[in-house]
Amino acid sequence: MKKSHTSLNIILILADDLGYGDLGCYGGLDLETPNIDALADGGLKFTDFHSNAPVCSPTRAAVMTGRYQQRSGIEGVITAKSHRNRGLGKDQTTIAQILKQVGYATAIYGKWHLGYHPRYNPCNFGFDEFRGFVSGNIDYHSHIDQVGEADWWSNRNLKSELGYTTDLITQYGLYFIENNVDTPFFLYLAHECPHYPYQGRKDPADRSIGNPYPIHGRRQNKKEAYKEMMEAMDEGVGAIVAKVKELGLASQTVFFFCSDNGPVSPGLTGGLRGQKGTIWEGGHRVPAIACCPSIIPSGCVTSQTATTLDLFPTFSHLAQAEVSVELDGINLWPLMVGGSALPDRSLFWRFKNQSCIRQGDWKFIDDGQLFNLADDLAESTDIVNQYPARAEDLEAELSQWNRNVSKGIERQT
């Protein structure tokens, strides 16, 4: 079946806590991920791609707005226990709203994590459809959040539904594609995998209403559970790709796969320093793959530096949509299709009491440490004493950025 429109469909697949060293196409040996690896073989693999935070909510805010998360007041995790009245402000423009304005059907299936109160529901931010959860994680079977409350939604309504979370996300994604064959669409598959609780398809539910414990799940062999969870997500990715091909949409559909931050054990960083929750490379350097047969050359690898900030301007470019808000990200499409060099720029990360700046291969941390990632990707040797002038310049730029973005923190509502 061929579709009548000429706009490119966009499928964003965001894994949760997936490490840089977890996928086979990134050298991972512990897990088999043939379908995700096939996306890399058929498209462009990034080796220097980053989430905009080492934790989930801030990165998701950056994905949705194309702006540093601090500008929208989402500095840290919006927790189920302490932040049920906080979320993405109405003054923020999302990529879903931009795409919807130019005729795209829009849907998110899976994890939102940008506000619990109904006023923060994704259907209020440009999504036509939402099936999934608004918290940081839920039981994969009972869909109970980490404070013991039910958290599975059908658009704006809390709705109980049977099924393994990963499979439900895939199932709804398949339905959405089938129902939008003749309409350009933006499909956001926000997987919970491989975030805890560590539960495979055959495991029983661990959480119930009023009883969220144990938070990480009862499964003793968490490494084995992690493997099963990843296999389920990989199978889901394969099913989505197969459906796109079956409906004759492959050459009109852009896939982008990445993670919202680095891993925790048993996830792997691929030898990078740090993990989720840190501003070391292991906390925010993540796998990223772009694929669109006949448009994005297959089997390519890029070492150019990009972040989740860049998805908004890239997707809006694909939709030929005008954007009036000021963005912090840049359009990656020239890189994706032709290998064009990205413009020189400084990039920034801040979480809790630490911040850092990246400029080319140089990375400066606000505690005074300086690294050159071209020579020292593991961030093992502080070279600030060798390059004091470089460190001073980077420190000044980082301080200025911190002052500028801090203006958004108090605006969170």
Please tell me the predicted confidence (pLDDT) of residue 407.
74
Q: Which of 268, 122, 282 is nearest to 194 (CA)?
A: 268
CATH tag, 9-341: 3.40.720.10
Task: State the average pLDDT for the chain.
Answer: 95
What span, in angstroms and rounded, lies between the C-alpha atoms of 323 and 247?
A: 31
Question: What value does the mean pLDDT take over residues 183-211?
Answer: 98
Buried b / exposed e along 179-205 (16+ C-beta atoms within 10 A): ebbeebbbbbbbbbbbbbbbbbeebee
Confidence category of residue 294, pLDDT binned at 50, 70, 90: confident
- Quick check: is 113 catalytic? yes
Question: What value does the mean pLDDT take over residues 55-69?
Answer: 98
Q: How many CB atoms lie within 10 A of CB 66?
A: 26
Helices marked H in 208-257:
222-246
Long-range contacts of 385-390 (CB under 8 A, 24+ apart): 390/362, 390/364
Is it the case that residue 1 has pLDDT exceeding 50? no
Secondary structure class of 405 (helix, strand, coil): helix
Question: What value does the mean pLDDT take over residues 327-333?
Answer: 98
What span, in angstroms and rounded, lies between the C-alpha atoms of 33 and 350?
A: 31
* Structure token pair of residue 93: 């423009």
pTM score of the predicted model: 0.96
Please tell me the predicted confidence (pLDDT) of residue 90.
92
What span, in angstroms and rounded, lies between the C-alpha atoms of 236 and 127?
A: 22
* Helices and strands, counts by H and E, the chain: 9, 16
Residue type for 101, please? Q
Is it the case that residue 170 has pLDDT exceeding 80? yes
CATH tag, 353-411: 3.30.1120.10
pLDDT digits (tens, 9 = 90+) for 229-266: 999 999 999 999 999 999 999 999 999 999 999 999 99
What span, in angstroms and rounded, lies between the C-alpha atoms of 223 and 242?
A: 29
Catalytic residue among 5, 25, 83, 113: 113
**Count of all residues that appear for the chain in the document:** 413
Secondary structure class of 10 (helix, strand, coil): strand
- In sequence order, the 6+-apart residues with CB closer than 8 A to the CB of 104 are 7, 10, 183, 184, 185, 186, 319
Q: Is 24 within 8 Å of 37 (Cβ atoms)?
A: yes
Secondary structure class of 100 (helix, strand, coil): helix
Question: What value does the mean pLDDT take over residues 117-127?
Answer: 96
H or E element that contains 181? none
Tokens 């704006």 identify what position? Answer: 156
Percent of the chain predicted with pLDDT > 70: 97
Q: In this predicted model, which residue has the larger pLDDT, 4 or 116?
A: 116
Tokens 């990200």 identify what position? Answer: 329
Is it the case that residue 413 has pLDDT exceeding 80? no
- Quick check: is 300 catalytic? no
What span, in angstroms and rounded, lies between the C-alpha atoms of 293 and 181?
A: 18
What span, in angstroms and rounded, lies between the C-alpha atoms of 137 and 45?
A: 28
Catalytic residue among 5, 50, 56, 291: 56
What span, in angstroms and rounded, lies between the C-alpha atoms of 137 and 194?
A: 10
Tokens 């690294």 identify what position? Answer: 371
Q: Which of 14, 5, 385, 9 is nearest to 236 (CA)?
A: 14
* Structure token pair of residue 40: 């890399």
H or E element that contains 172? helix 165-179
Domain spans, the chain: 9-341, 353-411
H or E element that contains 372? strand 369-372
Q: Which of 49, 117, 53 is nearest to 279 (CA)?
A: 53
